[in-house]
Structure formats: structure tokens, C-alpha cells
Amino acid sequence: MIEIRNLTKTFGETKAVDNLSLTINPGIVGLVGHN
């Protein structure tokens, strides 16, 4: 299980992610995006 709570990510003064919370339960999961 992966759990993220209240994640905020900024690049300089730009907020890319603001207060993200999520839970990924066990199972078959694929995350697609840039590496």
C-alpha cells in the first residue's frame, strides 16, 4: 500500500501540486508518466 498525505510540490514560485492526498491499495497498479 502507498499512502500520501498533504503533498505540495513547487518549482520556484509555481505550485505543481497543492495538498494532494491519496491511497493506492495493494494489487496490480501501473503509474504512467515521465521517468
Task: Classify residue 15: in a domain, yes or no.
Answer: yes
**Cα separation, 6 vs 21, whole angstroms:** 5
- Is residue 8 within 8 Å of residue 21, measured between CB atoms? no
pLDDT digits (tens, 9 = 90+) for 1-35: 999 999 999 999 999 999 999 999 999 888 888 86
* pLDDT of 29: 86
State the residue range of the domain holding 7: 1-25
Task: Classify residue 14: in a domain, yes or no.
Answer: yes
- Is residue 20 within 8 Å of residue 4, measured between CB atoms? yes
Task: Classify residue 2: in a domain, yes or no.
Answer: yes
Number of domains present in the structure of the chain: 1
Task: Classify residue 34: in a domain, yes or no.
Answer: no
Please name the residue that has the C-alpha cell 499512502: 3
